[in-house]
């Protein structure tokens, strides 16, 4: 194996473990909320903020993390973000009360925001041109599997160890990756020698207003003054951000990226996919543990037909992608995801036999695999070398925003039609909520199909998104 091949494998190792840690934390904590409440106490609102505090800082500071990486070094900021995430994970595990846990989760989100948008950029810089699609497809598959495995891992840890271990598990992983990243990753920077401080502040403030309003929309009602002011204020600041970036000599985020139709369509599809998927998975895990009465581990095992599919079919999806093109596979994935969730919405009831849901879960797993495998390379193939950091930050931020929006919107639909009092009332709310998730994902599929993929000059006509059967095939 050549020096270049070893370098690519080490880079994939570091970035893959980093993205797996952060992606797991999106859903793994939800499974542990009943145990956290029993141990630390706290109101329902405080428990919600153990999730929301992480989501808020993570989604709001994603573009800032990408900008800091471009300015001060991507390897450096990757290491700092990973260190912050690991230390905050230990703080969450040691939290003596619910307030300390919320604070630690907010710091975790900060570390994730510094770490996550730099994964794709670092890997793209390290990968040889002819294998870039393979590596980015594999990284996307790692992210998808980690997200989907959250409920299973969370259930197993809570049931057999304690809720603190969902945070402790990050510490040895981080301790392993940090020195390897320092030793093996190559430093790189963005094209601008200066940090666009005004743009950074405006982007963070605008996203804060939007995300804060979405998070509180369900609890405070969407028509409340606080929610409306937060959403309107965030939107106004983001408009100011766009206007500033269009005039800035060294913009934090080059707005010209959105002139490329594929970049815009894939980001829109990512937002809608994450909105429909996250909101539906949230309700499905609650349904299995509530009306069906399964333990957290039993609920996680019953989602396994969804989560295990990518492990077996990702190589096949990669081979098919080479022949028919990434855009077709992504659209097919979104369609399969919508079909699987639609099956669940049509069949779910307090007495529904679990085997009748298995085909739907398999369809969701197939859809997730088809979506994640080519997406990263399709986006990265539309931008220049110096723009990759912000392109990665944009797609990560919009996906996270989609997850926040999906949970908030689907929870609102659930509350408008049902409640937690009985199994019948739960499914009364769950059915229209999941159908809402289906509609969101279907809109994402249309966004991909209606916008033709157009590569940058000098790039291949279609990305190479295959996910090989073993890591050695990546290079």
Tens of pLDDT, residue by residue over 366-418, are 888 888 777 766 776 666 666 666 676 677 777 777 877 887 788 888 888 88
Cα separations in angstroms, 417 against 348, 384, 428: 15, 47, 6
pLDDT of residue 475: 43
How far is residue 269's CA from residue 138's CA, in Å, rounded to a whole number? 19
Tens of pLDDT along 46-98? 777 787 788 788 878 877 887 788 778 888 888 899 999 999 999 999 988 88
pLDDT of residue 183: 84
Q: How many CA atoms lie within 13 A of 458 on its CB side?
A: 4
Reported in sequence order, the residue ranges of 191-282 that DSSP labels E, i.e. its strands, are none
The span from the first CA to the last CA of the chain, in angstroms, equals 9
Tens of pLDDT along 148-161? 677 677 777 777 78
Helix (H, G, I), strand (E, B) or coil at 286: helix
Q: What is the mean pLDDT of residues 239-260?
A: 79
User: Is the four-CA dihedral 412, 418, 421, 427 of positive or negative sign?
Assistant: negative
User: Is the four-CA dihedral 72, 75, 79, 84 of positive or negative sign?
Assistant: positive
The answer to whether the predicted template modeling score (pTM) of the entire model surpasses 0.75 is no
Reported in sequence order, the residue ranges of 233-314 that DSSP labels E, i.e. its strands, are none
| Residues 6 or more apart in contact with residue 13 via CB below 8 angstroms | 177, 180
Q: Is the pLDDT of residue 130 over 70?
A: no
What is the pLDDT confidence band of residue 435, given thresholds at 50, 70 and 90?
very high
Q: What is the dihedral of CA 358, 361, 363, 365, to 10 degrees?
A: -130
How far is residue 360's CA from residue 356's CA, in Å, rounded to a whole number? 8
What is the pLDDT confidence band of residue 232, given thresholds at 50, 70 and 90?
very high
Cα separations in angstroms, 32 against 50, 167, 296: 11, 11, 8
DSSP per-residue string spanning 81-137? HHHHHHHHHHHHHT-SSHHHHHHHHHHHHHHHHHHHHHHHHHHHHHS-GGGHHHHHH
H or E element at residue 462: none
Express as a percent the part of the chain with pLDDT over 70: 81
Helix (H, G, I), strand (E, B) or coil at 143: helix
Tens of pLDDT along 295-329? 777 777 788 888 777 777 766 776 666 566 677 88
pLDDT of residue 3: 64
Q: Is the pLDDT of residue 35 over 50?
A: yes
Q: Look at residues 357, 333, 28 and name the one whose alpha carbon lies nearest to residue 167.
A: 28
Give yes or no for a contact between 147 and 307, defined as CB atoms under 8 angstroms apart: no
């Amino acid at each position: 194996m050549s020096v270049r091949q070893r370098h690519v494998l080490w880079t994939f190792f570091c970035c893959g473990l980093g993205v797996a840690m952060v992606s797991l934390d999106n859903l793994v904590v939800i499974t542990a909320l009943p145990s956290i409440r029993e141990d630390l106490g706290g109101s329902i609102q405080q428990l919600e903020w153990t999730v929301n505090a992480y989501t808020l800082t993570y989604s709001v500071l994603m573009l800032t993390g990408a900008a800091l990486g471009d300015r001060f070094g991507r390897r450096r900021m990757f290491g700092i973000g990973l260190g912050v995430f690991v230390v905050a994970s230990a703080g969450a595990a040691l939290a003596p009360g619910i307030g300390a846990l919320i604070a630690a989760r907010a710091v975790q989100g900060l570390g994730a925001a510094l770490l996550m948008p730099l994964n794709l950029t670092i890997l793209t810089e390290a990968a040889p041109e002819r294998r870039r699609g393979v590596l980015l497809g594999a990284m996307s598959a790692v992210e998808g599997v980690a997200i989907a495995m959250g409920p299973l891992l969370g259930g197993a840890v809570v049931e057999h160890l304690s809720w603190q271990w969902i945070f402790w598990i990050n510490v040895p992983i981080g301790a392993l990756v940090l020195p390897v990243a320092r030793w093996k990753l190559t430093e790189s920077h963005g094209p601008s020698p200066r940090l666009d401080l005004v743009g950074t502040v405006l982007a963070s403030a605008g996203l804060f207003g939007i995300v804060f309003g979405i998070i509180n929309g369900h609890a405070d009602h969407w028509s409340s003054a606080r929610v409306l002011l937060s959403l309107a204020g965030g939107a106004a600041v983001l408009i100011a951000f766009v206007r500033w970036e269009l005039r800035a000599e060294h913009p934090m985020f080059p707005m010209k990226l959105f002139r490329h139709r594929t970049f815009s369509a894939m980001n829109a599809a990512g937002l809608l996919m994450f909105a429909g998927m996250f909101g539906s998975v949230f309700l499905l895990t609650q349904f299995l543990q509530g009306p069906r009465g399964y333990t957290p581990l039993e609920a996680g095992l019953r989602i396994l037909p969804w989560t295990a599919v990518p492990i077996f079919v990702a190589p096949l999806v990669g081979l098919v992608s080479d022949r028919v093109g990434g855009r077709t596979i992504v659209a097919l994935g979104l369609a399969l995801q919508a079909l699987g969730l639609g099956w669940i919405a049509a069949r779910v009831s307090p007495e529904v036999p679990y085997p009748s849901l298995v085909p739907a879960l398999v369809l969701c797993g197939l859809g997730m695999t088809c979506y994640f495998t080519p997406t990263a390379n399709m986006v990265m193939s539309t931008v220049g070398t110096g723009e990759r950091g912000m392109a990665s930050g944009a797609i990560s931020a919009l996906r996270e925003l989609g997850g926040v929006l999906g949970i908030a919107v689907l929870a609102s639909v659930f509350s408008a039609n049902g409640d937690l009092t009985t199994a019948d009332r739960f499914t009364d709310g769950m059915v229209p909520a999941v159908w809402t998730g289906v509609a969101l994902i279907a809109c994402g599929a249309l966004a991909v199909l209606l916008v033709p993929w157009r590569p940058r000059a000098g790039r291949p006509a279609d990305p190479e998104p295959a996910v090989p059967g073993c890591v050695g095939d990546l290079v």
